[in-house]
Amino acid sequence: MSSTDALIASLEVMHRIRFTEETINQLRLQGDIVGSVHLCNGQEAIYTGAVQALDLTRDAIFPTYRGHGWAIACGVPPEAVIAELLGRETGISGGRGGSAYFTAPQYGMYGENSIVGAGAPIACGAALAGRFDGSGRVALASFGEGAMNQGAVHEAMNFASAMSLPVIFLVENNTYSELTPTASVVRSDQFFRRASAYGMTGVRFDGNDPEAVYQAVAEAVDRCRRGVGPVLLEAMTQRIVGHYIGDVQHYRPSGELEAAIAAEPIVRAERVAEGAGVAPEALAQLRQRIAEEVERAAAAALIAPLVDPATVLEHLYA
């Protein structure tokens, strides 16, 4: 596959994530979706590039509550994601997980978690299990940079390093810890440098470039498969929506959001594609095709049956 073909393939995935998130936003504002919803608009290149570097027949991804993009990149159909948030039987978790808790292990996506940083120790468990089951599994835990100040993340990194586990800790650094600029709550906001304290390799890269993400994650996967993991990766990005739906983002300085929109991954990828000779009409057709695909998915999800409340205790284990 040529570099241009690879870029178009990445653009298709990023469009699918973006249109799905925009549809979810609309359904939440209309009241069809209820509860807290966190969108990932502007961070699509991270999921797209990372998944391309993994083998989802054996590897496992543990995203945070901002996980719709991870699911779509892993191959979960938009209809199954949207139906899940709508509480429909056809949702990827039968309408029981909602926005922050759904899981899709058949796609290599082993569940979101609304406890900040909680996916890190769970990923360690998956990696340790892979040592005994012969799968050669690499586990990837993804979370925002605010989670780097969580005790469980520190313990997970220390444990993974001490045990040389094949874990990739991927920090989606969008420079805000919820509504607070991250730089205002830490001495150094270069989180990849913390890797040295754990005896790990640490790398920071452009999280708005799917190729840069792919290269960084592929190198981390190689280290993990060779038994010299874990690895701490820091993908620099910006979300171009609020922390949650309804966040008016008054905390952003003037001009910051406009700059983020100008540098977001889809805009950049289309600019690069045009520079490589891809016709604007072809890019427009791609956008239209994915938009119509997601529109059909949402229509199908909306007419699917709601989950029967009488089954609320099913699939619970204690």
Question: Tens digits of per-residue pLDDT, 75-99?
Answer: 999 999 999 999 999 999 999 999 9
Quick check: 112 and 100 in contact, CB under 8 A? yes
Q: What is the pLDDT of residues 243-281, one digit of tens each?
A: 999 999 999 999 999 999 999 999 999 999 999 999 999
Domain-located, residue 256? yes
Domain-located, residue 313? no
For residue 1, pLDDT beyond 80: no
Which backbone phi and psi does 149 adopt, to 5 degrees?
A: -100, 10
Domain-located, residue 243? yes
Average pLDDT, the chain: 96
Beta strands 139-144 and 60-62: pairing type? parallel
Q: What is the pLDDT of residue 316?
A: 80
Domain-located, residue 269? yes
Q: What is the pLDDT of residue 312?
A: 84
Domain-located, residue 316? no
CATH number of the CATH domain containing 156: 3.40.50.970
Quick check: 30 and 88 in contact, CB under 8 A? no
For residue 32, pLDDT beyond 70: yes
Integer CA distances (angstroms), 120 to 69, 149, 161, 231, 236, in order: 18, 12, 12, 12, 19
Place of tokens 């089954």: 311
Which token pair is 153? 């993340």
The strand pairing partners of 296, in sequence order, are none
Q: What is the pLDDT of residue 318?
A: 74
Domain-located, residue 312? no
For residue 10, pLDDT beyond 70: yes
Beta strands 231-236 and 201-206: pairing type? parallel
Which backbone phi and psi does 90 adopt, to 5 degrees?
A: -85, 0
Domain-located, residue 314? no
Q: What is the pLDDT of residues 192-238, one digit of tens each?
A: 999 999 999 999 999 999 999 999 999 999 999 999 989 999 999 99
Q: How many CB atoms lie within 10 A of CB 306?
A: 10
Q: With CA atoms as reference, report the closest residue to 232 among 174, 149, 148.
A: 148
Q: What is the pLDDT of residues 51-60, one digit of tens each?
A: 999 999 999 9
DSSP code for 308: P
Domain count, the chain: 1
Domain-located, residue 88? yes
Mean pLDDT across the stretch 132-146? 95
Which backbone phi and psi does 204 adopt, to 5 degrees?
A: -110, 140
Domain hosting 267: range is 3-307
Helix (H) or strand (E) holding 235: strand 231-236
Provide DSSP, 135-193.
Answer: ----EEEEEEGGGGG-HHHHHHHHHHHHTT--EEEEEEE-SEETTEEGGGTSS---GGG
Provide DSSP, 24-74.
Answer: HHHHHHHTSS-S-----TT-HHHHHHHHHTS-TTT-EEE--S--HHHHHHH
Q: How far, in Å, CA of 109 to CA of 103, rounded?
A: 6
